[in-house]
Amino acid sequence: MNKPHTPNVPQNYDLTGRVALITGCGGLLGPIHAEALLECGATVVVTDIEEQKIDRTVERLSEKYNTDQLLGRRMDVANYSSVKNVFQSILDQVNAVHILINNAALDPKVGSMGGDTSRFEYFPLKDWDDQVRVGLTGTFICSQVFGTAMAANGDGVIINIASDLSVIAPDQRIYQNSHPNKDEHPVKPVAYSVVKTGVIGLTRYLATYWANRGVRVNALSPGGVYADQPKCFVDKVESLIPMGRMAEKDEYVGAIQFLCSDASRYMTGQNLVIDGGRSVW
């Protein structure tokens, strides 16, 4: 049976009747991913570990979109029971989850750790464990719970949100400050790059593992996004980007819609890098 066509959306982008779950919707891009799918007619479940952030996201999105197509759930991606409970609660309201966007991650701002603990020599094991647990183990758990059900149904899409740092190393020069000893300058911590690189490995693994079960698995690697960073930092980043600027939050909307819809139905196991050209310079 053909599904009803969503007005103003090309037919191969139409997500009417599809249910999508997005993790980490209390962050910068999670709510934008939700808007992208709501615009294509999907029912969207926004999740985050912080309930207040979910409430704010649902409230804001409800002002613009049909609330019947929007659900909010508190979920700890790194806790199997939490993910499984949310999965069961969603099935009580809808027949299946067709799209999973693994967006949750920990990405502390450079300089927020205090002292020189961002540097590899002193990077705390607890911070390593926490970032791996949320960004990589959380992606594994959510993919296992929701992806296994997709494979059983013979239908599904998983999108893992990685980073340009999944394909390039951080350029630590952009974080340098005026301290005379360069060995004490803050740096982009090691865990984030390792987590995002691991996410790409998991993407390829699952894409081939479930290729014959109707589940497509791809990754999106955004570049730096404007978020009220200091001008001196922005200037340094933009000097590394061929297009000469960082991204606006809404410049990944089209990619999310493409990856989650039939427009990309022959694409799996790929990492779509959208970084203004930074990774090719």
**Is 50 contained in some domain?**
yes
Work out the mean pLDDT of the chain and round it to a whole number: 94
* Residue 197 structural domain: 11-273
**Is 94 contained in some domain?**
yes
List pLDDT tens digits, range 163-192: 999 999 999 999 987 665 777 788 999 999
**Is 153 contained in some domain?**
yes
Confidence of residue 262 (pLDDT cuts 50, 70, 90): very high
In the chain, the amino acid numbered 114 is: G
**Is 83 contained in some domain?**
yes
Q: What is the pLDDT of residue 2?
A: 44
List pLDDT tens digits, range 118-169: 999 999 999 999 999 999 999 999 999 999 999 999 999 999 999 999 999 9
**Is 197 contained in some domain?**
yes
**Is 280 contained in some domain?**
no
Residue 236 in this model has a pLDDT that exceeds 80: yes
HSE at residue 62, side-chain half, CA atoms within 13 A, is 13
In this structure, what CATH number is given to the domain that contains residue 31?
3.40.50.720
Residue 4 in this model has a pLDDT that exceeds 70: no
Q: What is the pLDDT of residue 1?
A: 36
**Is 2 contained in some domain?**
no
Segment 100-115 mean pLDDT: 81
Segment 71-81 mean pLDDT: 98
Could you tell me what percent of the chain has a pLDDT over 90? Answer: 87
**Is 3 contained in some domain?**
no
Domain total for the chain? 1
Q: What is the pLDDT of residue 53?
A: 96
Q: What is the pLDDT of residue 110?
A: 77
Q: What is the pLDDT of residue 109?
A: 79
More confident residue, 115 or 230: 230
Segment 210-234 mean pLDDT: 96
